[in-house]
Structure 1
Amino acid sequence: MKILYSCLSKSWGGMEMFTLTAVHQLLKRNIEVELLCFENSRLHKEAEKQKIIFRTLKVSGYFHPVKSFKLSRIILNGKFDLIHTQASKDLWVLVPALKIIGSKIPLFLTKQVGSFIVKKDILHQWVYKRVTYALAISEVIKRNLLETCPLTEDKILLLHNAVDRKRFDPQKIDKRKVRNEFGFTDNEIVIGMLARFSPGKGHEEVLLAAEKLSMKFSNLKFLIVGEASRGEEAYATQIKKLVDDYNLKNIVFAGFRSDTPEVLAALDIFCFPSHSEAFGIALVEAMAMGIPSVCSNSDGILDIAIDGETSFLFEKKNGNDLAEKLERLISSKGKRELFGKSSRERAVKFFDLDYLTEKVISIYEQTLKEKL
């Protein structure tokens, strides 16, 4: 089996990171994969660094006949058995390319992000008619696909994003490493957040909660991990200014980190305050590391966290409610340990990378068999 895996995104976040993870998992199983990515994007650079075979295109907007023709040559010469894209916008270059050469190979779309725009006009019908299956990463995305895209329910399959439970294993990671790096002591409770600096990720609520909780507890540290996406540097500056406005002295901005398991191991509580999240891979990774969490009660998070079992859910955008739910875990080591154990068990059972990789391969194989 030979696959062209596509993600023509210029950004760097969960979707792009998961694209690399998915490609590596397929390669590990001796499946040939080439990655189609945006030229000079972070994904392109990471693929090059990780020695993944890649093809690049520079596409913007929706109509690019020249690029579609170039891609049609890549598909034809590459003799791919199927194409899988992680970005719906890629369909606008992939579908015309397939039409140019009259190729009937299966085309899979993983839908990572929901849309508020109904796309059932004649052009979208033409594009989505060529999609063999759309893979929704959560129930909310599945519903969103049915509401906004010209797809029938039999064309949509639920397939969550996954975590490598062997890499994210609390038994294998030194909890002290990152705590020592930042000078966190044993008696300090470290509350962490891993997200890019982008509106809607909930940084404002975390800092409001930090202000309130720091007045009650003297042993708290807040570790904020992540960097600004392209064009969102002003937002990051605004968030960092809030620290001064609240006169907070216990906030650590760690920037981008590639040692995610080690960072998570340093935490006592994970905070996931996103206003709207299609899934939430960072939350699954924290759960795999056995970290109890406080999460917003929104969208794809509800596929992952169980209120009162793995996490406390709070009303999204409500910093006061976030502070109240964090306080429950701060005040109870027993509850933190109980939630942490349940979190690891749930992550391994439902979101294991090996299990979900085998599941998507079986979907590929069944589709190719039906095509014969």
Structure 2
Amino acid sequence: MHICLSNGWGGLEMYPSRIIPELRRQGWEAHGLALAGSRVAESLEAAGITPLTVASRGRALLGLGRLLAYLKANEIRVLHCHKSSDLRLGALLVTLRPSLRLFFTDHMGVTRPKKDPYHRWAYGRVTRVFSISEATRARNVAAFPLPAERIQRLYLGIDPAPYAPRFSHDERAAMREALGLSEGAVAIGLAGRLTPGKGQRGWVEALAWLAEHRPELAWHGVLVGGLSAAEGSNEAFVEELRARIHALGLEGRIGFAGFRRDLPRLFEALDIVCVPSRNEAFGLTVIEAMAAGKAVVGSDSGAIPELVDAETGRLATPDDPAAWGEALAELAGDEALRRRLGEAARRRVQAHFTLERHVEGLVAVYADALS
């Protein structure tokens, strides 16, 4: 049973519904516990399971008897939490039924020590913590009250098939036109929530550097992400970005694509994908762009250097617009280099970052714990 009692919607909340079809394909029966009416619950339904729902975390704690009865009736022996706030529930269930095995994936990257008596009790019931990168694991080992051998790096993965190119020449041209891209312009995209931590501010400054120092290059920037709070953005930050783009005289060269559900097809219209966030715990957008065969420029911090190397893209310091501008200039001026990096990036995802590979690693640990 995957437990995610969150009303939010991001990579953490999407994770259970993303892996459940692959869990089922590999022979495991999956269940879910979510908040009633949440997008997590809706996504589990869409993935083909009817989740058990509760009105709140408090209601879940008050309904331990109901949860234990459900676990027994469905012969569930593995619990997997995805928010640290859900560990209290998981630890209580394991305390009441010691035959259960409890797992926790740290999707965010812990930022402060968790070694007080409560966390020692809760994490003491966890069979294994999964860290989604080596960078995250290093922080987990330092922060969690667990021996290092109970904290395992397990990279996330995606199904690369949807990212394979599908557009005809005319379809790609139509998508580029809809994005406001002129013919022959190198499309430089950044996909993600429009919030300060994702690095859009520095990216705009890098494009300003590019315009000033390499005026001969034809390019167009595309910001992909919701523009309203309902779509996960910081609306004040969106307005700040608009104002800065106007002040730099780049309104005709940087556009806002808004929230998109067709990211694999959008990647087909782009030539370079940027991920300038300072401290990614993993970087799903990175491997999605790589699976689409795109050259990636990413931050040289967090987990991104574990995904991107000189054979598949370029790395630059997040707060250095000149370094970013130089990397973008190199790729914007060399179509053959972009193609070579993109092809190597696609192969790297297929070899190391598939959803199938991720779930194989996950269920191997489940099976070992149960045996």
Normalised to the residue count of structure 2, the TM-score between the two structures is 0.90
Aligned residue in 2 for 1:221: 220
C-alpha spacing 1:277/1:58, structure 2 compared with 1 (3 Å):
farther
Residue 186 of structure 2 is matched in structure 1 by 189
CA RMSD of aligned residues (A): 2.3
Report the Cα offset of residue 279 of structure 1: 0.4
Does the residue aligned with 2:315 lie in a helix, a strand or coil?
strand
Gap regions ≥5 residues in structure 2: none
User: Which residue is equivalent to 1:260?
Assistant: 263
Q: Deviations for 1:118-163, whole angstroms, at most 9, x for unmatched residues?
A: 1111111110011111111100111111100011111112110002
**Aligned counterpart in structure 2 of residue 117 of structure 1, from 107, 112, 115:** 112
Structural mapping, 1:1-372, within 5 Å: 4-59=1-56, 65-66=61-62, 68=64, 71-99=67-95, 101-170=96-165, 172-174=166-168, 176=172, 178-215=175-212, 216-217=215-216, 219-227=218-226, 228=229, 230=232, 232-248=234-250, 249-306=252-309, 308-369=310-371
Tell me if structure 1 keeps the 8 A contact 2:179–2:257: no
2:44 and 2:50 in contact (8 A); partners too: yes
1:298 and 1:68, CA in 2 relative to 1: closer, same or farther beyond 3 A?
farther
**Secondary structure of the structure 1 residue equivalent to 2:273:** strand
- Secondary structure of the residue that 2:279 maps to in structure 1? coil
Gaps of 5+ in 1: none
Partners of 1:39 and 1:58 within 8 A in 2: yes
| 1:323-359 superposed Cα distances (whole Å, 9 cap, x missing partner) | 1211111111222122112111111111122222222
CA distance in 1, matches of 2:276, 2:127: 35
Structure-1 separation of matches of 2:222 and 2:36: 33
TM-score, normalised to structure 1's length? 0.89
Give CA-to-partner distance per residue, 1:72-112, whole Å, 9 cap, x none: 4443444312111222221122212332x324211111111
Deviation at 1:241, TM superposition (A): 2.9
AA in 1 matched with 2:218 = N
After TM superposition, give the deviation of residue 29 of structure 1 in Å. 3.3
Q: Alpha carbons of 1:244 and 1:57: their partners in 2 closer, same or farther (altered >3 Å)?
A: farther
**Which range is displaced more, 16-25 or 142-151?**
16-25
Conserved? CA contact 2:94–2:125, under 8 Å: no
How far has the Cα of 1:223 moved from its partner?
1.4
Contact 2:185 2:220 in 1 (8 A): yes
Percent of aligned pairs with the same residue?
29
Whether contact under 8 Å (1:173, 1:261) holds in the other structure is: no
Take 1:289 and 1:235, find their aligned partners in 2: how far apart are those partners?
A: 29
Q: Provide the C-alpha distance between the structure 1 equivalents of 2:319 and 2:53, rounded to a whole number of angstroms.
A: 39
Q: Is the 8 A contact 1:203 1:273 kept in 2?
A: yes
The answer (yes or no) to whether the contact 1:33–1:53 under 8 Å persists in 2 is no
| Distance apart, 1:10 and its partner CA | 2.3
How many residues were matched structurally? 362
Check whether the contact 1:85–1:109 (CA below 8 A) recurs between aligned residues: yes
Secondary structure of 1:275 counterpart: coil
Query: Any idea what SS the aligned residue of 1:222 has?
Result: strand
Q: Give the deviation of 1:194 after TM superposition.
A: 1.0
